[in-house]
Chain A
Amino acid sequence: MQAFTSIARASKRSVLRSANWRTVAAYTTHVPPNVAPGQTTQSQESTKTHFGFRNVLESEKEQLVGKVFANVAEKYDIMNDAMSGGVHRLWKDHFIRSMAPGPGTKLLDVAGGTGDIAMRFLDYCKNIHNDSSASVKMIDINPHMLKVGEQRFQATPYANTNQVSFLVQNAEDLADIPDESVDVYTIAFGIRNCTHVDRVVKEAHRVLKKGGRFMCLEFSHVENPVVSKIYDFYSFDVIPALGQMIANDRESYQYLVESIRQFPTQPAFAKIIRDAGFSTVGKGWEDLTFGVAAIHSGFKI
C-alpha cells in the first residue's frame, strides 16, 4: 500500500511538471481568476502573462526577465556548458552550417547576448569563403549581456573592425533598424523570454530584405516519451541544483526551465512564423536532440 502511494505521489509530481503544463495555452495570456470569461480586461497593463509557471503582469515581465539575465550574465557561458554538457556548442555550429551564409551577408543577431552565434557566423564566412565583408549587428535588450559579448569580442580578430557592432534594443520594437535592411535575422535562445512572440516575428519580417531568411534556435517540445521523462527529470531536478551550486542563483534557472515548458510547440510556432508573412520550407523546423532544441526557419518571399 505504501509502495502504491509513493508511486502515486511521484507520478502526481511529474504530471504537475510535465505534460499538463505544456497543454496550457502557452503563448496566449492567462486571464486572472477574478475576471469573468466574458469580460475583457481594462488595459494592456492589467493583462497577465506567464513568467515560468507564475502569472505576472505583462508590464512586469520584461523587468523580471531583465533581472534574471543581469544575474546570470557573468556565468552565462559556464552555466550553458554545465547544463547542456557542451551540446549547445554543437547546436550552434549546426545552426550556422544550416544557415550557410554567403560572402558579404548582413546578419542581425537579436538577443545575441554573449555573441556565440555572431562569432560563429563571422568565422564561417572567413574560413569557408575567405570573406571579411560579412557583418553582424548584435542586439540585446539587456546591457549586461551585451557587455559580456563585447568583452568576448575583444579577444577575437574582429575586435576593432567594422564587422561587428552592438546595440541595445527591444526585439519587439527595433526602433533603430530600418526596414528591409538585413539579409538574415537570427534569434538564438532568446525568443522564449520575449513577452509577445508574435510581435518579435513581425518585426523580423519588417527588417528583412526580400528573399531574406528568419532563423530561430530555441528550446522546444520533446515528443519521444522516454526522452521526455529523462529531460523533465534533468530540467527540474538537476538544473536548478546546478544553478544554485555554480552560480548561486536557483530562481533564475528555475525560471529558465519553466519558460521552456511555456513556449509554443514546434507546429504552433511554425504557424506564428507563417502568420507573420514568412514562407516555410517543408515543416518549417528541424528538431535537434529529439526536440530538446529546434531550428525554425522562414523566408520572406
Chain B
Amino acid sequence: MSLFKLAIRSHIRRLRLQQSPFIGCSALRRFNSTWTTTDEDYQQPGQLYETHIPISNTQRVILAAGSAVTALVDPYRGDMIATLGETTGQRFLSSIRDQMLQDRTGRRILRTRPVINSKVLDLDKLRQLPSDTFGSQYVGWLDKEGVTPDTRSPVQFVDDEELAYVMRRYRECHDFFHTLTGLGVTVEEELALKWFEWVQTGLPMTMLSSLFGPLRLTHGERRRLFMDYVPWAIQCGASAKPLMNVYFEEMLDQPIFKVRKELGIFLPPNHIVH
C-alpha cells in the first residue's frame, strides 16, 4: 500500500477515534475501563474517556490556583493535589509520553496500558514470595502503611485520553517508587519522594509540592529533608533510569537489590528502611 494511502487511513482512523469514543472497536478496547456509564444518553460534550470532565480554560486556571491553596491549607486533601497535577500537567505529560515512545518498554506500556489495582495484582500471591523480592517488599509496605493500590483518584481534567493514561500510570506507580526508594509516608519522606519525582518527570505539581510543601514542616524535619533527602533525591532521580518506562509488574518476583541495581536507584543515606 502506498505511503499516501497509509497516511490517509491513519488520519481517518484518528478522526473517528476522536469523534466517536463509544464504538467498541479493538483499538479502543485497549483502554482497560468499561465505556458504559450509568445513564447511557448522557455524555458531556467533548468527553474523551470515562472519567473525563471537560472544563473551560478559565475554570482550569481557577481550579489550579484554588487546589494549590487548598492543598497547602489542608494537606490531607489528596484529591486537591491530584487536581493540581491534572490541571497543570499538560505539557509535561506530553514530554513524558514522548520519552516513553522512545523506549521499547515504554512503547509496550503505552500499547498495552496496564492498570494497577487489587483486582489485577494478586496481593495474596505476592505475600507468598520470598521476603527479599520486590513483590514481597511492596506488599509488606502496603500492609504496614494500611493502604491498597485502589486508593488513587481517577483522572478527570486531562484533555487527551492517552495523556490521561500516562497520568494514571504515574499515580499508580507511586507506591512502587516508595518501595524501591525505601521511603515511608511521613511528611518529609513524602516530600523527598516528590523531589525525586520532580527530577524524574518534571511535572509542575511535583515542583509545587517540593517547593511549598516544606513550609509546613517543623525546623528539625526541614533540616533533615534538605540535608539528607533532597541531595539524594536529586542525584538518584537524575541518574536512575526513567521510571515511567519500567514495567514494574514484570519485576515483582525478582530480588529487590537486583531491581534497584538495574534501575540505578540507591537508598538515601542515614536512612533506616522501614
Contact = CB atoms under 8 A, between A and B. Distances in A.
Interface stretch (A92-100, A104-112, A243-251): A243-251
A184 to B, nearest CB: 39
B145 to A, nearest CB: 22
A273 B63 CA distance: 40
B116 interface: no
Contacts of B53: 250
Residue of A53, A241, A248, A250 contacting most chain B CB atoms (<10 Å): A241
Contacts of B66: 241-242, 245
B12 interface: no
A238 B39 contact: no
Contacts of A245: 63, 66-67, 70, 80
A13 B80 contact: no
Contacts of B83: 244
Nearest to A246: B70
A237 B42 contact: no
B58 A33 contact: no
Interface string A227-248: 0000001001110111011101
Nearest to A248: B79
Contacts of A240: 59
B56 interface: yes
Contacts of B77: 248
Contacts of B42: 53-55
B41 interface: yes
Interface string B37-80: 00101100100000001011011001100110010000001011
Most buried by B among A16, A56, A245: A245
Contacts of A13: 45, 56
Contacts of B56: 13, 236-237
Nearest to B77: A248
Interface of B: 39, 41-42, 45, 53, 55-56, 58-59, 62-63, 66-67, 70, 77, 79-80, 83
Given A16-B45, A237-B55, A241-B62, 17 more contacts: A13-B56, A53-B42, A54-B42, A55-B39, A55-B41, A55-B42, A236-B59, A237-B59, A237-B62, A238-B62, A240-B59, A241-B59, A244-B63, A244-B67, A245-B80, A246-B70, A248-B79
